[in-house]
Amino acid sequence: MIETRPPEPVHRSVYDFSAVSVDGRAIPLGQFRGKILLIVNTASRCGFTPQYAGLEALYREYRDSGVVVLGFPCNQFGAQEPGTEAEIAQFCERNYGVTFPIFAKIDVNGPKAHPLFQFLKAEQGGILGAIGLDSIKWNFTKFLVDATGRVVGRYGPGIAPSHLKPEIDKLLAS
């Protein structure tokens, strides 16, 4: 007898995924249906860590318009996120006043990459995505998702959150 596994679920949007929050709760991303999302892999000990302030500023400016920033701590780049979930949450709140959702630490590359980030990378490959090299290169890579759950942009760590305002404004106007 041949053993078969059920087929992998087909993911059509980010709303098909769930993730664990920094406080241990399972969060279905479907709860953000109809909102514009900025999904970012973050780290507390990175040269780009001050972008937390810019991400929080974006969130505060646009949250009433239906924009949500989602932070996903990752320790895969220079071990720059070594803390526990409690330490990460405390750091974000104490140093940057973060009020946007922060999730539990995940991998964004490799065999243990969170399925959401596998999807994001497949939808918006990196600079070398045309030849299949779409891995995330560093902390604070950003993915912009429209209100239908479609990934519409990928931005490297060097792109400040404030530079995404024109793209967010276009999505809000459409």
Q: Which residues are catalytic?
A: 46
Q: Among residues 142, 74, 145, which one has the least CA distance to residue 109?
A: 74
CA distance 93 to 52: 10
Contact 38, 70 (CB under 8 A): yes
φ and ψ at residue 97, rounded to 5 degrees: 60, 30
Report d(CA 103, CA 86) in Å as an integer. Answer: 11
